[in-house]
Structure 1
Amino acid sequence: MIEAAKIWNEPNNKSHWDILIDPEWDKFAELAIVAGQAIRAVHPTLPRVLGGLSPIDPRFMENMKTRGVLDHVDVVAVHGFPLDWNLWQIQEWPDKLAEIQALVPHPVWVTEVGVSSFGADEVQAWGLKRTVELLAGHAPRIHWYSLYDLPKTWEATTRHREAEGSSYYRHFHMGLLREDGTPKPALDVYAEYASTMGLCQWFHFEDHRLDDAVRWMRRLGVRHLRTGLSWADSFRPNARDWFDRQMEALAEFEITVTFCFTPEHRGIAPHHTSPPLDPQEFADFCATMIQRYCPAPASRPSTHNHREPLCAP
């Protein structure tokens, strides 16, 4: 069931939002506000999450406060990867979290934290255990990224690619399971915490891993899952069928659903990171998805001839 709606993913990361087009994030702030309003208009209580900060940057958070974004969200989220990408050490996690908690009146969730096995499986296993030790009790929701390694034939969501050297290839080794589905040592470590530490797993359009992922999450005892519904994918043929299949398959978990990615023909630039030409179109997509998969209690159908809601009452 859906427990929260997240507005965009890593908006202060240039791999996910074009800061050349929007250097002061005024366009992102407008998008976040209208999306927050649209979600609230169709559901009076569903928590709205401001897309995970990556890097964790108090200046970006102050910018969002100044622009009024925090009046239209209920949770702020952060992402951190200190053993792979961030320029700080893993033991700094509580301080990094506290920097944002001190600035906002909302709960602060960690909706992506992870360690790659690029250098060694043992590093990932140690990093997972140490992350739990550092974050437990400091954030109401924590999501480990991710269940699966990214298939090597796919492209990581980054603009730098090979220019990053080993940093780029680390994207492909973040999973608890290898691309072929075999477990890494970190899987057993995660199993100890699965009831309290959620997962973040993105599913690509018509992703072949969906059913296996559900089986693994059941086996591990996962309760909380963060995944996404792509605005860009909504323009593909049979998009609604895929969205229905994905959400029905995942309905037994408590889902933070992330709305993001601009269709090329709806952006200022033809790229999924671009601010949209009209942010209201993105807001309308968010509202439509909530109405379909998590309608407000008063609007829920009373007969079984309609789709059952996939959110908490």
Structure 2
Amino acid sequence: MIEAVKIWNEPNNKSHWDPDVDPEWLLFADMVRRAGSAIGRAAPGLTRVLGGMSPIDPSFLARLERAGALDMVDAVAVHGFPLDWNLWAIDEWPAKIAEIRAATDKPVWVTEVGVSSFGSEEVQAWGVTKTAGLLKGQAPRVHWYSLYDLPMEWGATTRHKEAEGSSYYRHFHMGLLRADGSPKPAVEAFRALDGQMGICQWFHYHDPRLDDAVRWLKELGVTKLRTGLSWADSFRDGATDWFDRQMEALADFDTTITFCFTPEHRGIQPHHSSAPQVADEYAEFCQAMVERYVRPEQRAAA
């Protein structure tokens, strides 16, 4: 079942929202308000979560609040990777959550947290246990990113690709499982948490790992899952069939769905990170997905 929806992903990360197109995030705030309102009409009471901040930045949240973006969301989210990309130590996790709590009265979710095995699989396994201990009781939802390593041939969704050096290559080593599906030591560390953390796993269009992912998630005792439905993918041939297959496969989990990625032909600039030409088109996509995949009885209960 869908228990929450996320409006966009990492809006203060240049790889996901282009500040050259929208330097003050006013277009983003307007898009969030429109999407949040549309989701609310489709499923009153369904939790709407602001796309996870990366980096964690209370001043960015204050900017969005001034622009009215928080009026149509019920929670805010943060993403953190202190052993890979952030300029703070892993032990600062509670302080980082406290910074955001002090800036808003909305619940704070941690919808991506992870440690890559780029340098050491043993360090990643340690990071699973350490992170879980630091975040226990700190947030209503904590999602480990991710179940699978990203296959090198697929490429990572970043702005400057290989020019980022080792920062780019860490994207390919965030999974509990290697790209071929074999388990890393981190699998047993995660299993030992007994459901304390959920998983964030993005599925690519016609992702061949979907069925194996469901099997692994159930084996690891995961009940809380975060994934996404791509607005850009919705324009592909057969998109609805793929979305239906993905959502049917994930029906046994309490799922948070992220709606993101601008279709190139609908962006102010032809890029997935661009603000859309017409914000209502994104809102209409969000509403259509909620109406299709949030069960009628759940909408009625909400």
2:160 alignment counterpart: 160
1:151 alignment counterpart: 151
Identity over aligned pairs, percent: 66
Pairing of 1:1-313 with structure 2 (within 5 A): 1-297=1-297
The alpha-carbon deviation at position 295 of structure 1 amounts to: 4.6
Distance in structure 2 (CA, Å) of the matches to 1:297 and 1:149: 36
- SS of the aligned residue for 1:153 comes to helix
Q: Which residue type is aligned with residue 37 of structure 1? A: S
Distance in structure 2 (CA, Å) of the matches to 1:123 and 1:91: 15
1:304 alignment counterpart: none
Distance in structure 1 (CA, Å) of the matches to 2:218 and 2:251: 12
- Contact map agreement 1:42 1:296 (CA 8 A) in 2: no
- SS of the aligned residue for 1:93 comes to helix
The alpha-carbon deviation at position 194 of structure 1 amounts to: 4.6
Q: Which residue type is aligned with residue 190 of structure 1? A: F
In structure 2, relative to structure 1, the CA distance for the partners of 1:27 and 1:42 (3 Å cut) is: same
- Contact map agreement 1:194 1:223 (CA 8 A) in 2: no
Q: Which residue type is aligned with residue 282 of structure 2? A: F
- Contact map agreement 1:43 1:295 (CA 8 A) in 2: no
Distance in structure 1 (CA, Å) of the matches to 2:298 and 2:53: 34
- Contact map agreement 2:46 2:299 (CA 8 A) in 1: no
Q: Number of aligned pairs?
A: 302
The alpha-carbon deviation at position 297 of structure 1 amounts to: 3.8
- Contact map agreement 1:8 1:260 (CA 8 A) in 2: yes
Distance in structure 2 (CA, Å) of the matches to 1:71 and 1:193: 35
- SS of the aligned residue for 2:51 comes to strand
- Contact map agreement 1:56 1:80 (CA 8 A) in 2: yes
- SS of the aligned residue for 2:52 comes to strand
TM-score of the aligned structures, taking structure 2 as reference length:
0.98
The alpha-carbon deviation at position 23 of structure 1 amounts to: 1.0
- Contact map agreement 2:132 2:196 (CA 8 A) in 1: no
Q: Which residue type is aligned with residue 197 of structure 1? A: M
- SS of the aligned residue for 2:33 comes to helix
Q: CA RMSD in A?
A: 1.2
In structure 2, relative to structure 1, the CA distance for the partners of 1:299 and 1:110 (3 Å cut) is: closer
Q: Which residue type is aligned with residue 135 of structure 2? A: L
The alpha-carbon deviation at position 296 of structure 1 amounts to: 4.8
The alpha-carbon deviation at position 192 of structure 1 amounts to: 1.6
Q: Which residue type is aligned with residue 72 of structure 1? A: M
Q: Which residue type is aligned with residue 52 of structure 1? A: G
Query: Which deviates more, 6-15 or 60-69?
Result: 60-69
List structure 1 runs of 4+ shifted beyond 3 angstroms.
Answer: 295-300
The alpha-carbon deviation at position 196 of structure 1 amounts to: 2.2
- SS of the aligned residue for 1:126 comes to helix
The alpha-carbon deviation at position 284 of structure 1 amounts to: 0.3
Query: Which deviates more, 192-201 or 165-174?
Result: 192-201
- Contact map agreement 1:115 1:128 (CA 8 A) in 2: yes
| 1:23-61 CA distance string (max 9 Å, x none) | 110110011100000000111110000000000011110
- Contact map agreement 1:22 1:275 (CA 8 A) in 2: yes
In structure 2, relative to structure 1, the CA distance for the partners of 1:210 and 1:20 (3 Å cut) is: same
Distance in structure 2 (CA, Å) of the matches to 1:124 and 1:20: 35
In structure 2, relative to structure 1, the CA distance for the partners of 1:280 and 1:83 (3 Å cut) is: same
| 1:134-174 CA distance string (max 9 Å, x none) | 10001110000000000010110101211111111000000
